[in-house]
């Protein structure tokens, strides 16, 4: 697995040309108008008909290029051709024949020769139709959701409101109205607790909302509002604190891991720490005073909106961005917060392959022996649940797109998705704080019982069982600790702990008979071997306690996968490139037969390697060079379920991302810099088979 090469994708700059002076002044005016709204990239088209002129335009939102838009001016007297069939035909015939499939226009804005008449079209294959207006720069990438959800535009407006409001709240509590918190991360925790109470209030019947306070029965609906807080001050604070104590261990938010251990959403020792009534009032006003809900045409459909009316993926994204923008990453904890473009790209690759393979699509909607959804997703180092939340959104879209009896109707898809929210998502982490944030994150997305739990060490925990997951996406901890002079005791304790872990990673190693000792290696479907390493004679010896945890996580994740399951993992480049780690690469894909060119003896097929920019984890204080490794676990033999089939290694997709659509400035991801999100182009190249 050599170092990745740049994907053969075409950049916007390479496509951009200028509109010639011979083009219609009406077209120039239309293109200028579209540019003023952010569709500022253009590619002039040559129209074969006299009086017709056209240009393709597009823009970029948060580093991702929008779908192409056809700006078209019809000849004089030809307005009758402004119908959807004619315009769609022109959208395919006007661009040059070598146009990439995803660069053909997906929308069109059509003008007459005098510039007085205008029509706008959605050119979606199979169902093109006229629409009232062109989606704006931000909406156009979400247009499928806007069509499916009549209030999605309102949800997106609420996203803006919440993002600005969350950040203002954070600054208020941290700077101007300081409260009983120790730092920035404590503020995030307190907001998460209040979001939990609001979610509980909205999704439970009136009878479940009563709690005891000072000998009285109170209803959460009566006390949990900005108005009640403003009128009652400190006494209202005490009531809400009592409510949190009552509801934090509610059984609706208790999940059970594979070892049978139960986990509430909050620890029993977690308490609401905020004391200032003004801070409570500010939070409640932000999340409750949302105004009327409007449909995509601006008509009021509900007088007073709530968080329950906001599309779940929008609400979850708002919380995730708030978390990433304000989380204090000192001590390397920011490594938990994988950048959004990386998460989206990894899940896009996985779900694309699941959709296009009939067998995988069938397994996605299959049932287990107990009648529950059989598909299982896992992140064994889940942090704040970023991969889980993105996977949930991709799952929703995938269920809408695949066929079959299980997804034949809206009701069938809704029921299946609800069941999968409870049974299909598993996350584990060694940070109780991160586990709590992940639980709240998934609750806001409509999955309060997602199986996310604390574990001391995912590498050895019985809470995660081998051979039980279909898809794993993860960014595990990597790198070995450095110990300074005077830290001998800490170094010794680390080495002893690592040795105990390494002992459990030798189930595929059998002691050799004879002099010299060592082990023989024989791969099994649910075994482990990275507690050892082969010497130059191919004899396996016990691995060093300096073994990078990333190596162990590769082994563990492959163990956790079902045969045929998929793994996408962020790794330090050394594992993929260093000569000393060659045995890890051979362990994954097998050794190469120099005669046939095939690889034999490995546990997985390497699907792809995507190199990430050096500043990917700059927010967490590290410049470690990393890549995404995409593996598919080999299938088991039919005559022996613990042995692998000798499947051929196929071509490996390799690409290099140089930018992610933003620059890190003042400890914030700044998307206004105008740099491209190379991962979007790389995913497009993978989908097209380039």
Encoded tokens for 440: 């709240």
Measured in whole angstroms, the distance separating CA 325 from the mean position of its chain's CA atoms is 16
**Do you know the residue count of the chain?**
690
- Whether residues 138 and 243 share a domain: the answer is no
Domain for residue 5, yes or no? no
* Structural domain contains residue 156: yes
Its domain, for residue 531, covers 489-547
Same domain, 202 and 290: yes
Closest CA to 662 of 647, 651, 673: 673
CA distances 420 to 6, 15, 640, Å, are: 37, 43, 30
Domain membership of residue 205 (yes or no) is yes
Residues 105 and 187 in one domain: no
Q: Are residues 110 and 186 both part of a single domain? A: no
d(CA 420, CA 423): 5
Bridging pattern class, strands 262-263 and 255-256: antiparallel
CATH number of the domain to which 122 belongs = 3.90.1570
Structure tokens at 684: 């497009």
3-state SS class at 245: helix
- Asked if residues 425 and 450 have their Cβ atoms less than 8 Å apart, the reply is yes
Q: Is residue 295 part of a domain?
A: yes
> How many structural domains is the chain composed of?
3
Same domain, 47 and 103: yes
Please choose, from the candidates 60, 136, 80, 257, the residue with its C-alpha nearest in 3D space to the C-alpha of residue 659. 60
Evaluate whether residue 593 is within a structural domain.
no
Instruction: Answer yes or no: do 210 and 291 share one domain.
Output: yes
CA-nearest of 554, 556, 551, 547 to 526 is: 556
Give domain status of residue 529, yes or no.
yes
153 by Cβ neighbours in 10 Å (0-12 / 13-18 / 19+) ranks as: buried
pLDDT at 331: 44
> What burial letters (b/e) apply to 656-677, b meaning 16+ CB within 10 Å?
bbebbbbbbeeeebebeeebbb
| Euclidean distance between CA atoms 163 and 287, whole angstroms | 11
The answer on 136 and 176 residing in a single domain is: no
Same-domain check for residues 255 and 180: yes
Whether residues 270 and 302 share a domain: the answer is yes
- In this structure, are residues 495 and 480 in contact, taking their beta carbons and an 8 Å threshold? no
pTM: predicted TM-score of the whole model, two decimal places: 0.85
CB 469 within 8 Å of CB 377? yes
In a domain, 18, yes or no: yes
Tell which of 328, 343, 378 closes a domain: 328
C-alpha–C-alpha distance, residues 375 and 390, integer Å = 16
Query: Is residue 609 included in any domain, yes or no?
Result: no
| C-alpha closest to that of 541 among 501, 564, 512, 582 | 512
Whose CA is closest to 562, among 297, 374, 339, 312?
A: 374
Structure tokens at 408: 């034949």
CB atoms within 10 A of CB 400: 14
Average pLDDT along the chain, 690 residues, taken 10 residues at a time: 39 37 76 94 90 93 88 93 89 89 90 92 80 87 79 88 89 88 87 94 92 96 96 97 96 92 93 95 96 90 94 81 72 60 93 92 92 96 92 90 81 92 95 91 89 95 96 91 83 91 96 84 95 91 92 97 97 90 94 86 96 85 86 96 93 94 76 82 87
Q: Are both 183 and 309 inside the same structural domain? A: yes
Task: Clarify whether residues 159 and 83 are in a common domain.
Answer: no
CA–centroid distance for 615 within its chain: 19
Q: Which of 104, 128, 148 is the last residue of a domain?
A: 148
Could you tell me if 29 and 92 lie in one domain? Answer: yes
Query: What pLDDT sits at residue 338?
Result: 86
Final residue belonging to a domain, choices 95, 129, 148: 148
Phi, psi of 392 (to 5 degrees): -60, -45
């Amino acid at each position: 697995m050599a170092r990745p090469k740049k994907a053969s994708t075409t950049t916007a700059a390479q496509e951009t040309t200028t509109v010639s002076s011979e083009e219609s002044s009406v077209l120039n005016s239309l293109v200028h108008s579209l540019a003023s709204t952010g569709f500022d990239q253009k590619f002039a088209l040559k129209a074969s008909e006299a009086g017709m002129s056209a240009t393709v335009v597009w823009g970029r939102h948060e580093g991702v290029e929008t779908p192409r838009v056809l700006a078209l001016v019809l000849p004089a007297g030809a307005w009758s051709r402004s119908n959807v069939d004619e315009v769609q035909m022109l959208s395919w015939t006007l661009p040059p024949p070598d146009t990439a499939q995803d660069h053909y226009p997906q929308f069109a804005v059509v003008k007459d020769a005098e510039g007085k008449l205008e029509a706008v079209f959605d050119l979606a294959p199979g169902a093109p139709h006229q629409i009232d207006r062109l989606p704006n720069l931000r909406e156009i990438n979400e247009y499928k959701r806007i069509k499916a959800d009549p209030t999605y535009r309102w949800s997106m407006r609420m996203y803006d409101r919440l993002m600005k409001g969350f950040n203002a709240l954070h600054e208020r509590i941290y700077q101007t109205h300081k409260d009983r918190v120790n730092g920035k991360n404590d503020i995030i925790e307190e907001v998460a607790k209040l979001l939990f109470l609001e979610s509980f209030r909205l999704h439970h019947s009136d009878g479940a909302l009563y709690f005891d306070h000072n000998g009285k029965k109170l209803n959460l609906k009566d006390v949990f509002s900005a108005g009640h807080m403003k009128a009652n001050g400190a006494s209202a604070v005490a009531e809400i604190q009592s409510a949190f104590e009552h509801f934090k261990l509610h059984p609706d938010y208790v999940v059970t891991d594979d070892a049978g251990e139960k986990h509430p959403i909050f620890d029993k020792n977690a308490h609401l720490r905020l004391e200032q009534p003004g801070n409570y009032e500010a939070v409640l006003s932000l999340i409750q005073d949302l105004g009327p809900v409007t449909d995509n045409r601006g008509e009021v459909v509900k007088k007073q909106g709530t968080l329950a009316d906001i599309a779940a993926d929008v609400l979850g994204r708002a919380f995730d961005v708030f978390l990433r923008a304000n989380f204090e990453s000192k001590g390397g904890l920011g490594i938990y917060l994988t950048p959004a473009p990386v998460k989206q790209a990894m899940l896009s690759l996985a779900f694309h392959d699941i959709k296009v393979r009939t067998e995988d699509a069938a397994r996605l909607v299959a049932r287990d022996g107990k009648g529950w959804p059989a598909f299982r997703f896992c992140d064994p180092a889940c942090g704040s649940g970023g991969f889980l939340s993105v996977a949930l959104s991709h799952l929703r879209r995938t269920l809408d797109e695949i066929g079959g009896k299980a997804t034949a109707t809206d009701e069938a898809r809704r029921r299946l998705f609800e069941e999968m929210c409870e049974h299909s998502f598993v996350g584990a982490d060694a940070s109780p704080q991160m586990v709590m944030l992940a639980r709240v994150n998934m609750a806001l997305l409509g999955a309060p019982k997602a199986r996310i739990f604390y574990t001391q060490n995912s590498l050895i925990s019985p809470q995660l069982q081998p051979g039980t997951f279909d898809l794993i996406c993860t960014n595990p901890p990597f790198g070995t600790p450095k110990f300074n002079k005077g830290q001998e005791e800490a170094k010794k304790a680390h080495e002893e702990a690592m040795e105990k872990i390494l002992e459990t990673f030798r189930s595929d190693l059998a002691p050799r008979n004879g002099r010299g000792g060592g082990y023989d290696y024989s791969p099994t479907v649910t075994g482990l071997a990275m507690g050892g390493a082969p010497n130059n004679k191919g004899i396996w010896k016990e691995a060093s306690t300096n073994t990078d945890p990333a190596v162990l996580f590769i082994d563990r994740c492959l163990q956790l996968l079902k045969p045929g399951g998929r793994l996408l993992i962020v790794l330090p480049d050394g594992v993929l490139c260093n000569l000393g780690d060659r045995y890890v690469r051979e362990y994954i894909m097998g050794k190469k037969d120099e005669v046939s060119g095939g690889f034999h003896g490995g546990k997985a097929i390497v699907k792809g390697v995507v190199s990430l920019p050096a500043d990917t984890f700059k927010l967490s204080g590290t410049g470690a060079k990393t890549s995404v490794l995409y593996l598919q676990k080999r299938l088991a033999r039919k005559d022996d379920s613990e042995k692998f089939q000798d499947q051929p290694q196929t071509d490996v997709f390799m690409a290099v991302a140089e930018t992610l659509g933003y620059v890190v400035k003042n400890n914030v991801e700044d998307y206004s810099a105008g740099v491209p999100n190379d991962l979007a182009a790389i995913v497009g190249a993978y989908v097209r088979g380039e």
